[in-house]
Amino acid sequence: MLIKRTARGMIYSVTLNPSLDRTLTFNNLTLGTVNRAIATRIDLGGKGINVARALCALGVECRVCGLLGSGSGDAFLEQLQAEGLGCLFVRHAGEVRVNITAVDQERAETTKLNEPGAQVDAAVVDQLQVLLLEQLLPGDAVLLSGSLPVGAPADSYRQLISSFRQRGAICGLDTSGPAFHEGLVAAPEWIKPNLEEAEELLGYPLEDNLGIRRALSELHNRGAAHILLSAGASGLLYSHAGKAWLAQPPQVVVRSTVGAGDAAFAGAFAAWLAGQDGATIARQAAAAGTASAMLEGSQMPSGGQVNSIFNQVYVSSFLYQDFKRG
């Protein structure tokens, strides 16, 4: 079944390894002993799921796609559809993985325990590729986010991005490790690494302006036109067409960092779709990520919540910043 498109093209957000995210909150988490949570919640998870939800909250029509297991996958799909999200999933026999996030309120620390997920084979990835190629038209966008499931070929993102770009689609990638390295070979237009992921890929530390500029130059030379680089406490960088902007959000009470990067990716992409300039793209990315961090679990912020932070984000040209890693 073909999905109705907007005039600017359809956005597809792909998750190959979705999850159920269980968040446990503690006053003082201590390893090696019994800890009793003071609060718990369960959210549908997976980076591409988060991106799709955040885009929709910002008024961008988006379809969520990917691989989805059986069993709890039925309820997973029903919930997404109940939220009004159009879905294109290839189903497989495995179960949906469960990721656990432990939030220590006293230390303001978050610990993540992620399951690898069910094992799949290359055939289901190929099925998803065919399914999306049936939908894509030139000018559509495909944002691929998250880890690869066990059994998926290491070059899955490279193969998917190559085929989608040949169809005329704009592609974005947010992953890490070998999957990131392979995916970059296909030259996605958008990438969203954090400092650690960029360091792992490039093989040198990113501690100051010199290291960051070198990294941005190298990543652009590999084909990425738009780079969104999360720098943790130091802020967020957006780089495009020889210019870079550093966005520094206000200090807020952080309830969960799970999904904050996904919200930032959605915020940047939504601003770009709207034709905003680089400074505004950086500002909206930081505002969306910050608004997400203020929420419990892996909730995505509403447009109003993003707007409430937007004007509090300080944006400057990265060229003139004395950047020191926070």
pLDDT for res 326: 58
User: For 47-81, how does the pLDDT look when each residue is reduced to its tens digit (9 = 90+)?
Assistant: 999 999 999 999 999 999 999 998 788 999 999 99
pLDDT bucket at 323, cuts 50 / 70 / 90: low
Match 């509090």 to its residue by tokens. Answer: 312
| Confidence band for 4, pLDDT divided at 50, 70 and 90 | very low
Average pLDDT over residues 33-60: 94
**Residue 237 placed within a domain:** yes
Q: Identify which has the larger pLDDT, 224 or 296.
A: 224
What is the rounded average pLDDT for all residues in the chain? 92
Q: Is 2 among the domain residues?
A: no
**Which letter does DSSP use for residue 241 in this model?**
T
What's the pLDDT tens digit per position in 139-152?
999 999 999 999 99
Q: DSSP letter for 76, please.
A: H
Confidence of residue 229 (pLDDT cuts 50, 70, 90): very high
Of 184, 41, 161, give the one whose Cα is nearest residue 101.
Answer: 41
Q: 111 near 85, Cβ under 8 Å?
A: no
pLDDT of 123-176, one tens digit each?
Answer: 999 999 999 999 999 999 999 999 999 999 999 999 999 999 999 999 999 999
Residue 223 near residue 173, CB atoms below 8 Å:
no
Residue type, 1: M
Report yes or no on 4 lying in a domain.
Answer: no
Residues 12-29, mean pLDDT to the nearest whole number: 94
Q: What is the pTM of this model?
A: 0.92
Phi then psi for residue 46, to 5 deg, are 115, 135
pLDDT band, residue 319 (cuts 50/70/90)? low
Res 324: pLDDT: 61
Residue 195 forms part of a structural domain: yes
Amino acid (1-letter code) at residue 315: V
Q: Is residue 3 domain-resident?
A: no
Task: Identify the CATH number of the domain in which residue 246 sits.
Answer: 3.40.1190.20
Q: Is-contact 274 311, C-beta < 8 A?
A: no
Task: Give the active site residues.
Answer: 262
Q: Report if residue 6 sits inside a domain.
A: no
Question: CA-CA distance, 314 to 253, in Å (whole number)?
Answer: 18
> Hey, what's the torsion of the CAs at 269, 273, 275, 278, to 10 degrees?
10
- The two structure tokens encoding residue 262: 């996904």
C-alpha span between 240 and 227 (Å, rounded): 7
Instruction: Look at residue 298 in the predicted model and tell me its pLDDT.
Output: 84
Closest CA to 284 of 302, 306, 262: 306
For residue 184, pLDDT beyond 70: yes
Helix 195-202 vs helix 209-221: angle between axes, to the nearest 10 degrees? 70
Angle at 89 between CA 88 and CA 92, to 5 degrees: 165
Domain count, the chain: 1
Structural domain range at position 257: 11-29+38-320
Does residue 305 fall inside a structural domain?
yes
The amino acid present at 158, given as its one-letter code, is: R
The continuous run of DSSP H or E covering 316 comes out as strand 314-317
CA 229 → CA 76, 127, 226, distances in Å?
31, 32, 10
CA atoms of 276 and 271, how far apart (whole Å): 6
Residue 136 counted as domain residue:
yes
